[in-house]
Amino acid sequence: MTTQPYPGSQPPVATGEEKTLSIAAHLSAIVAAIVTAGWLSFLGPLIIWAVYRKRSPLVRQAAAGAFNFNVGLWVMNVVAWICLFTVILSPIAVILFVIANVGMIVWHLVAAIRASQGRAYNYPFQIKILS
């Protein structure tokens, strides 16, 4: 017997505003990364989470997931910068930079597409801070 996460076996339908805010939560990380040269990519999702967390579970989950994922990417970038300053570990730094930056764009776009369908997305390798 499988248990359904929602009574009546159908998840609640997301409103247009919830979808828009969820998409914004995911894509705000890319915008913040571009504006701040990658250092504050977690700021956009954090602002959306702080403002809308009590209004919609879908928006809260989207913003928290995007924030947690970006904290993980931020840690990866810091480690990459540390590796870059050591001659021996500089190839690892390049690999980490590529994974972090390409991964940020790809996973946020996938998450935004899911949000446009009113579905939640769980990011890989998150550092769970917000929920």
pLDDT, tens digit (0-9, with 9 covering 90-100), for 19-72: 999 999 999 999 988 888 777 888 899 999 999 989 999 999 999 999 999 999
Is 127 part of a structural domain of the chain? no
Nearest alpha-carbon partner for 104 in 24, 38, 11: 38
Cα(121)–Cα(4) distance, integer angstroms: 18
- pLDDT (mean) for 75-88: 90
Residue 1 burial (CB count, 10 A): 2
Cα(21)–Cα(15) distance, integer angstroms: 10
Q: Which residues contact 114 (CB under 8 A, 6 or more apart)?
A: 120, 121
Is 94 part of a structural domain of the chain? yes
Task: Tell me which residue range forms the domain holding 39.
Answer: 16-116
Q: Is the pLDDT of residue 105 over 80?
A: yes
Is 8 part of a structural domain of the chain? no
Give 4's pLDDT tier (boundaries 50, 70, 90): very low
Cα(72)–Cα(125) distance, integer angstroms: 7
Is 121 part of a structural domain of the chain? no
Is 64 part of a structural domain of the chain? yes
Give 3's pLDDT tier (boundaries 50, 70, 90): very low
What is the helix (H) or strand (E) element at residue 27, kind and residue range? helix 16-35
Is 112 part of a structural domain of the chain? yes
